[in-house]
Amino acid sequence: SPIDKDDKPLMTYHLDHLGPMETTHKQYNHLFVVVDAFSKFVWLYPTKSTDATSVIERLEKQAAIFGNPQRIITDRGTAFTAKSFEEYCSKEGIQHLLIATGVPRGNGQVERINRIIISLLTKLCHNNSENWYKHVDRVQRLINNTPPRSTGVAPFKIITGLDMRIPEDIGFRRLLDEELLKELEAERESVRNKAKENISKIQEENRRTFNSKRKQETEYKIGDLVAIKRTQFGPGLKIKAKFLGPYSVKKKLGHGRYDVEKVGDHEGPHKTTTIAEFMKSWTPSFGSNDCSGRPNVGDVHGRTTRSGQTY
């Protein structure tokens, strides 16, 4: 179901691992990215591992300063599906939402930030890409001090109520002086209200644009035979069939989402969750790789990863 929008910061975090990057002499090879859904504030952590232990360590350090969010949104990476991560979220009272495989818009906030990060690091590194980690702090400051279109207010200002000062100026601890807290809280409330108004306006514009361009989704019934769109492409697979099947519809999840199960012995995961726009009524078709009409299903066997992603 659609995720409710927050009306204040530090309530919902989007998490992701960006990489692999070029390995540095410190053995960093990924960037752990945390995005606050309301303010768009980002935290960037160079990391040597993408496992659950590394993720939990960084979230614990962040919680020591900002407390815990109410919920966390992630993809189905191994760190986020690990039992230890689920136990951590349960212990801390955090709701963990996993997005459907192959539906990138479900975690679109962090995907957009990732593109910005890569662009900035590329410009800052020039031809010395193995030193990317040295520029991460600067990239984080640049993003957090730049008003995004969705709010019109810099993320740092939404969080603190103040304009960012350069590190050589007055330290951040001074912002927490008791005599400034009342003034800060009043300005925070004003800034947050302005950001909320801008977010609602942009969301309505995006909703109207999306609905005007979106085709009416086909509704499927339990037991219908369908073909599902291939969502993963590795080397040499872009010229293979774009649709796989047949699959049988096993459960309707609402909002155009379905649980489906493989029928027969063919390429693709045994069970998966997909969306109506990635489905077509099953009609065997060979010799064409055009997904604009009937689904094309090849007669060769492919591979399925342990996570169920199709290649």
Q: Which of 66-80, 102-116, 147-161, 220-234 has the lowest mean pLDDT?
A: 102-116
Cα(293)–Cα(275) distance, integer angstroms: 18
Which contacts (CB < 8 Å, 24+ apart) does range 27-33 have?
A: 28/133, 31/117, 31/136, 32/58, 33/110, 33/113, 33/114, 33/117
pLDDT tens track for 212-233: 766 677 899 999 999 999 877 6
What is the overall mean pLDDT for the chain? 79
Q: Is it the case that residue 287 has pLDDT exceeding 50? A: no
| pLDDT for the residue numbered 266 | 85
Q: Is it the case that residue 278 has pLDDT exceeding 70? A: yes
Domain ranges of the chain: 12-213, 217-311
Mean pLDDT, range 231-250, rounded to an integer: 77
Q: Which residue has the higher pLDDT, 186 or 77?
A: 77
Mean pLDDT, range 91-111, rounded to an integer: 80
DSSP state of 215: P
**Please, are residues 234 and 311 in contact by the beta-carbon 8 Å criterion?**
yes
Report domain 12-213's class: alpha beta
Q: Pick the closest to residue 268 from 234, 308, 233, 299 (CA basis).
A: 308
